[in-house]
Copies of this chain bind each other. A is one copy, B any other.
């Protein structure tokens, strides 16, 4: 591997001159620059990332922390990963992806060893143990998911409360008075997945305000439990005229379950949900739904993180809740 010294020798200049030619931080004469450029590509020189990181204390790498739980649905997770990765690359950053089950340890390890310039935490829970590790680290972080204590951190999430209200309003406006709500699996609540209860509580409260019935249930995460639980719910509430499904795994399975029961949408039952458009396309989901925008979320998190990396006290911390958008797909009446 050629070093900057080799380039310098080949071009007959000093190392610092090569460095300045590379960075453009000082002016270089045209002919010198040409000699350097030629030397660089005869030698096939590339800057050594480690050496540069050491000198500049910037790695141009962002840590991406996630843990895959059994109660999560793979396609959704992958969408976040790709969004973060793509957005980062556009800003010139690479992604160090850590899927360690010891989240706090992983945060500590990659930040304190200076492997990254900042981190993105995916799927942050109410009492996420990674937060202490992040605060102890002297590096910026962006969270996707809402923790209890948002002090000193930047948070990005969908406004699940508003999403719930939108969906309840939509159904209420169409005349529905008894609504089933399928939440994420109980595990998600236990683990502290705030989005689960933020959505449920808002839906329940909104329903109460309208004086209508809402029947909350937990969904399941794996087959055959998903179908079974959906059937049980439908059996238990034959009077319900509408259903809100806040669970990827359940919504993916719902079409089959309804078909098997001979239930037609929206004639017999109105169905609304939350999922991203891409997700809906992989399956056959023709439901009116709130768009969850994983790409927008990932992108915003990265953008903000990058800004904070270049200027650590750039702005007050941010808790950005992106606005839900309702896409009408005709699954309600």
As a 0/1 sequence over residues 52 to 76 of chain A, the CB contacts with chain B under 8 angstroms (1 = contact) are 0110000101001000100001110
Q: A21 to B332, alpha carbons, bound, how many Å?
A: 69
- Partner pick for A114 among B49, B75, B110, B222, CB 8 A cutoff: B49
A310 touches B (CB below 8 Å): no
- A227: chain B residues within 8 A (beta carbon): 284
As a 0/1 sequence over residues 1 to 22 of chain A, the CB contacts with chain B under 8 angstroms (1 = contact) are 1000000000000000000000
A115 touching B284 in the complex, CB below 8 Å, given contacts A82-B68, A259-B260:
no
Closest to A248 in B: B282
Closest to A249 in B: B282
Contacting residues of chain A (39-96) with chain B, CB-CB under 8 angstroms: 44, 46-51, 53-54, 59, 61, 64, 68, 73-75, 77-79, 81-82, 85-86, 89, 94-96
A210 touches B (CB below 8 Å): no
A322 touches B (CB below 8 Å): no
A97 touches B (CB below 8 Å): yes
Copies in the complex: 2
Q: A82 to B81, alpha carbons, bound, how many Å?
A: 12
Q: Are B1 and A114 in contact (CB under 8 A)?
A: yes
A151 touches B (CB below 8 Å): no
- A51: chain B residues within 8 A (beta carbon): 50, 54
A281 touches B (CB below 8 Å): yes
A295: min CB distance to chain B, Å = 12
A189: min CB distance to chain B, Å = 20
Q: Are B223 and A49 in contact (CB under 8 A)?
A: no
- A112: chain B residues within 8 A (beta carbon): 1, 44, 46
* 5 additional A-B residue pairs with CB within 8 Å, beyond A1-B114, A74-B74, A223-B283: A47-B113, A49-B50, A68-B78, A85-B99, A89-B99
